[in-house]
């Protein structure tokens, strides 16, 4: 097995990492990557049944892991995840606020209030509540790293995705504000902004009437200079780098992982 300790950019030995939305997609892959690089893990997801096999796989690989059913729209649940890290591992070095949802594709005038509110309950409150409690512990222990998962829809417009885009813009605003507020406490806060990537959110998306998922994916891919959608592993590699303790002077950034879309 590769010895990641040879490179400080890849070495997470002794670090404690919290990941929300860890039952699938970016969250599950990131848990595997950080675990095999030496991190102890605290994992949460509203899908408790989906979280169990992720935990079992990590435990079988010798990774120290704690898990909790977590609805990130609940401040109580977000606080409980941080408490779980403190009680079991004594600290929290890395927090990844990854949990999120996407609505059906609709023009803005067709979006109802419940859809709009749900996007902000999960995608904005989940980040806000998570950081509120993560920052408190990290400040008290002398530092840490937070990575929030936004989107390319948080850096620009997203046709037929107004509620989602608004929520993901909010994530970047929260990220940059927290980065400035907590830099003097040695806490770094960044965001990652993927283009359409083949996670369950995209492969199982609800498409407009009369279109198939494949047709929508083809349309999305046409908007990328690489003419393809992203692979989850490509985004997770960037997440591993942004969480690295070696990137100690990088904070307040929103990194696009987009196949060149933002270069237009």
CB count, 10 Å around CB of 207?
14
Instruction: Please give the helix or strand (H or E) that residue 91 lies within, else none.
Output: none
Which tokens sit at 148?
């929030």
DSSP output for 205-249? PPPPTT--HHHHHHHHHHTSTTSSPBPHHHHHHHHHHHH-TT-TT
Q: String of b and e for 83-114 (b: at least 16 CB within 10 Å)?
A: ebbbeebebbbbbbbbbbbbbebbeeeebeee
Report, as residue numbers or ranges, the catalytic residues. Answer: 164
Cα 82 versus chain centre, distance: 16
């Amino acid at each position: 097995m590769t010895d990641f300790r040879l490179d400080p950019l890849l070495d997470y030995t002794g670090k404690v990492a919290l990941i929300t939305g860890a039952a699938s997609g970016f969250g599950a892959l990131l848990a595997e990557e950080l675990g095999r690089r030496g991190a102890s893990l605290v994992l949460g997801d509203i899908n408790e049944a989906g979280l169990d096999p992720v935990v079992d796989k990590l435990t079988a690989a010798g990774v120290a892991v704690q898990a909790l059913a977590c609805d990130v729209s609940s401040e109580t649940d977000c606080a409980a995840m941080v408490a779980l890290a403190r009680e079991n591992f004594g600290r929290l070095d890395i927090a990844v606020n990854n949990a999120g949802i996407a609505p059906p594709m609709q023009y803005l005038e067709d979006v109802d209030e419940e859809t709009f509110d749900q996007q902000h309950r999960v995608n904005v409150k989940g980040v806000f509540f998570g950081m509120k409690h993560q920052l408190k512990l990290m400040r008290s222990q002398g530092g840490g790293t937070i990575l929030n998962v936004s989107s390319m829809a948080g850096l620009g417009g997203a046709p037929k995705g107004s509620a989602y885009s608004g929520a993901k813009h909010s994530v970047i605003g929260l990220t940059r504000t927290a980065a400035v507020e907590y830099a003097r406490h040695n806490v770094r806060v960044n965001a990652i902004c993927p283009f359409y990537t083949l996670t369950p959110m995209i492969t199982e998306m609800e498409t407009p009437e009369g279109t198939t998922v494949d047709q929508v994916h083809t349309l999305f891919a046409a908007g990328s200079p690489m003419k393809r959608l992203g692979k989850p592993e490509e985004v997770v590699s960037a997440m591993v780098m942004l969480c690295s303790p070696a990137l100690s002077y990088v904070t307040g950034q929103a990194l696009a992982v987009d196949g060149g879309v933002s270069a237009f």
